[in-house]
Amino acid sequence: MNFLELLLIAVGLSMDAFSVSVCKGLTTKRFSWRMALVCGLWFGLFQALMPVIGYYLGVQFQGLIETFDHWIAFGLLFLIGANMIREAVWGKKEEGEDSGALDFKTMLLLAIATSIDALAAGVSFACIQVKIWSSVLIIGITTFLFSVLGVKIGNVFGSKFEKSATIVGGIILIVIGLKILLEHLGVITF
């Protein structure tokens, strides 16, 4: 997987955290660097941690799934992307999303909720043998930056971009999953 593909996956995975960060920004009358950095650190760290966990779970079962691993990678990325799009179009806000609270419990729950897709992506990384440490560094930094930006955008522009960002993130993940599948099936070569 090249850098651009990995960056696109990182952007796609960061969209849930971006959306929640936009909601955090909506709750403040004035932009707060403290809120932006706290959101960025929580979401960036969890988005980096979860693929590592998923990767090592995937590696444990790699011998059993080697013949159909590309289908697993496609399926996981497709489901993650489709779920992001579904939630953006028809979903409800999760409890706590509309709160400006930065307490430990609230941020922990939001960080876990927004990084479950990164856990699944980590499993797919094991299937396609991605360099995990450079990958999670890119994912963590990208999510950190998008989360900080999300708080600012939420504060300045309101909820105008929240749904669109999540839909774009979902589409990116689906396209990357499809590309992985088509490459392994020999339909396309890059």
Looking at the domain assignment, is residue 190 inside a domain? no
Task: Please tell me the total number of residues recorded for the chain in this structure.
Answer: 190
87-125 b/e (C-beta count within 10 Å ≥ 16 → b): bbeeeeebebbeeeeeeeebbeebbebbbebbbbbbbbb
CA distances (Å), origin 116, targets 14, 105, 123: 11, 17, 11
Per-residue pLDDT tens digits for 152-162 = 988 887 556 66
Residue 161 falls inside a structural domain: yes
Query: What is the span of the domain harbouring residue 108?
Result: 3-184
* Percent of all residues in the chain with a pLDDT value above 70, rounded to a whole number: 88
Tell me whether residue 113 is in a domain.
Answer: yes
- Identify whether 23 is part of a domain: yes
Half-sphere exposure of residue 62: CA atoms within 13 angstroms, side-chain side: 16
- Assigned domain for 130 exists: yes
Supply the pTM of this predicted model: 0.70
What is d(CA 140, CA 129) in angstroms, rounded to the nearest whole number?
19
Note whether residue 38 is domain-resident: yes
* 189 falls within a domain: no
pLDDT, residue 66, reads 64
Q: Give the mean pLDDT of 80-100.
A: 66
Number of domains within the chain:
1
